[in-house]
Amino acid sequence: MKQVLSGNEAIARGAWEAGVSFAVAYPGTPSTEILETVAASYKDDIYSQWSPNEKTAMEVGFGASVAGARTLVTMKHVGVNVAADPLFTMAYTGVGGGLVLVCADDPNLHSSQNEQDNRNYAKFVKMPLIEPSDSQEAKDFMAFAFDLSEKYDTPVMLRTTTRISHSKSIVEFGDRREPNKIGDLERNARKYTMLPGFARPKHPIIEDKLKAIAKVGSESCPLNRIEMGDTSVGIITSGISYQYAKEAMPKASFLKLGLTYPFPAELVKEFASKVDKVIVVEELDPFLEEQATLAGIEVDNGKDLFPICGELDPVMVANRLAGKAMNAVAPAPDLPIRPPVLCPGCSHRGVFTILKKLKVFVAGDIGCYTLGALPPLESMHTCLCMGGSITMAHGIAKVMGETYDRKNKVVAIIGDSTFFHSGVTGLIDMIWNDGNAVVIIQDNRITAMTGGQENPGTGHDLSGIESPQIDMEKLVVALGVKPANVRVVNSYNLKEVEDVMKEELDKPSPSVVITKEPCVLQFRIKEEPYRVDADTCTGCKVCIKVGCIALSINDEGDEPKAEIAAEFCTGCSVCAQVCKFDAIVK
């Protein structure tokens, strides 16, 4: 059977075919759909779950592997930073059932806070790295990755990029391998208990494994292949870069690598000896090129041609590799940009409207609410990493000391999924160390930014089945926030938000303000729309400052008037509350 699948859907299929029986992840673009596909299409054969964060996902997955199951763990590139601690030592312990970490990088930061090249992790952790270049390979390479993991007793990383994960191509299906038989639990402290005395002897073993796998990569690995053509130039490439280069120079000689770490130096040497010159085409860091150079292989400086920053694209590759002329048509000039914005009716809007009015310093976090940093709301002043809001607020507040000046008061704002991800430990830090900041938890009942996943507070698991729900209010009280300082407010009631914020800002101990209004996009909330009464509207444009695309100013009449597009307005009332003339009505 053949289907058009995205790289992510193909990875899910590949996991199923490889006999995986356990899959775990924390969502993150562009990796999220892998587990969603597992849960939707293979739920009878594969247990799957979201974890609260990538570190717990990695450890849960490792447990499953120790028990003998072939295990898939997925995350976005920055997720690996969170999961790095267990991952590094997993290279020492090795695995039980095969364990493959799929990590999805995001060159060009389509939806991320940085564009780190996670291939470097493979080298740093000392684990094999596999890079597919389309959906068929994404599926097929999974089986290879699991076999490699079990044969060499090591976790394996399969790395995609946005253009692999979110591109679709035709995939031919295969059958499912028998999953591993699960026997009684084996005790093997020397393997799994990394005391210094047990861990020390493992390190040379890892080095030997890497040498052995490099030999596989050079001699017998079906993922690495030479495609001989014109010998005046030889191109070494992997992942999506292969597709661009192949299209630019279909007749050139290629060394297409799928198993890119440990570096198959012998194969690269052999290839280099057959062509007049060698050039590496790769996105982001000169990962392959540096290793080729270290192995004493003479390569052209690929990074003179291709940037370290951002994505490659087919025109750039054709132009710089093959000297094909760039298209000369200029884009239409000066078009207004169309940035992403909070949806009409979004429950985050009212809170940012008030934070702006209060002129406090806002330490932000990652989620839809990060859009509160953009104009016209412009009321988020930092965003570093998931969970960083509360801890940064604590650090800032400690330095600023006791102050009654609102502009030097600090508020942290964090979403529900992000709070459970890594905000909880931050709050413990603030409470333990006698901090003082107001933490707003925007509990919109879902992980919205990544397309609507369940989280520990929603009462459902990945499959949508009812599950125990972590009670946020009880949790923060248990951590030590005074019950009187835990306030649940209605995010659509601006006066209530403002009054409560003022009260909590004046208290000398940490406060937690929680909103519970659900995400209007994910829960499809739409009530009777508001409209602008043109006779009452003075055209003052205050309503426009809430940044809702349902609202605009109509300049066509004698005087400018606000206008509401009924098909977009969800009837949330935020703009009506800021209008000083009661001109926005139902």
Ligand X SMILES: Cc1ncc(C[n+]2csc(CCOP(=O)(O)OP(=O)(O)O)c2C)c(N)n1
The residues that touch ligand SF4, with contacts defined as CB under 6 A, are 342-346, 348, 368, 444, 448, 519-522, 530, 546, 548, 550-551, 564, 569-576
The Cα 542–Cα 529 span in angstroms is 19
- Give the nearer residue to other proteins in terms of CB position, either 328 or 478: 328
**Which segment (90-98, 123-131, 279-287, 314-322) binds other proteins by CB under 8 A?**
314-322
What does the block give as tokens for 44?
């009878």
Q: Which does residue 530 touch among ligand X, other proteins, ligand SF4, none (CB within 5 to 8 A, set by kind)? A: ligand SF4
Edge to edge, the sheet with strand 361-363 lists 361-363, 410-415, 438-442, 511-515, 486-489
Residue 243 touching other proteins (CB under 8 A): yes
Residue 368 touching ligand X (CB under 6 A): yes
Q: Name the amino acid, one letter, at 533.
A: D
Residue 441 touching ligand X (CB under 6 A): no
Residue 449 touching ligand X (CB under 6 A): yes
The Cα 395–Cα 384 span in angstroms is 14
Q: Which does residue 564 touch among ligand SF4, other proteins, ligand X, none (CB within 5 to 8 A, set by kind)? A: ligand SF4
> Taking a C-beta distance cutoff of 8 angstroms, is the pair 539, 551 a contact?
no
3-state secondary structure of 11: helix
Q: Contact with other proteins (CB under 8 A): which of 174, 395, 451, 539?
A: 451
Q: Which does residue 494 touch among ligand SF4, ligand X, other proteins, none (CB within 5 to 8 A, set by kind)? A: none
- Give the nearer residue to ligand X in terms of CB position, either 19 or 457: 457
What is the C-alpha radius of gyration for the chain, rounded to an integer number of angstroms? 27
Residue 82 touching other proteins (CB under 8 A): no
The Cα 139–Cα 171 span in angstroms is 8
DSSP per residue over 309-354, as a string? SS---HHHHHHHHH-PPPP-PPPPSSPPP----PPTT-TTHHHHHH
> Which residue is it, tokens 């599950």?
467
The Cα 207–Cα 439 span in angstroms is 47
> Which residue is it, tokens 């991952």?
87
Q: Which does residue 569 touch among other proteins, ligand SF4, ligand X, none (CB within 5 to 8 A, set by kind)? A: ligand SF4
Angle, alpha carbons 487-488-489 (nearest 5°): 110
What does the block give as tokens for 494?
């601006």
Residue 293 touching other proteins (CB under 8 A): no
Q: Which does residue 571 touch among ligand X, other proteins, ligand SF4, none (CB within 5 to 8 A, set by kind)? A: ligand SF4
Residue 77 touching ligand X (CB under 6 A): no
**Number of residue whose CB is nearest ligand X:** 415
Q: Name the amino acid, one letter, at 134.
A: D
> Which residue is it, tokens 């270290």?
294
Q: Which does residue 82 touch among ligand SF4, other proteins, ligand X, none (CB within 5 to 8 A, set by kind)? A: ligand X
The Cα 17–Cα 34 span in angstroms is 14
Report the 10 Å Cβ neighbour count for 167: 19
Least distance from ligand X to the Cβ atom of residue 370, Å: 7
**Which segment (182-190, 243-251, 360-368, 478-486) binds ligand X by CB under 6 A?**
360-368
- Give the nearer residue to ligand X in terms of CB position, either 49 or 149: 49
Could you say which residues in the range 413-432 bind ligand X, by CB under 6 A?
A: 415-418
Residues 6+ apart with CB under 8 A from 197: none
Residue 363 touching ligand X (CB under 6 A): no
**Contacting positions for other proteins (CB under 8 A):** 2-4, 29-30, 110-111, 134, 162-163, 166-170, 240, 243-244, 246-247, 313-315, 318, 326-332, 334-343, 368, 371, 375-376, 449-451, 521, 541, 544-545, 547-549, 551-553, 567
**Contacting positions for ligand X (CB under 6 A):** 26-28, 54, 76, 78-79, 82, 113, 366-369, 386, 415-418, 442, 444, 446-450, 519
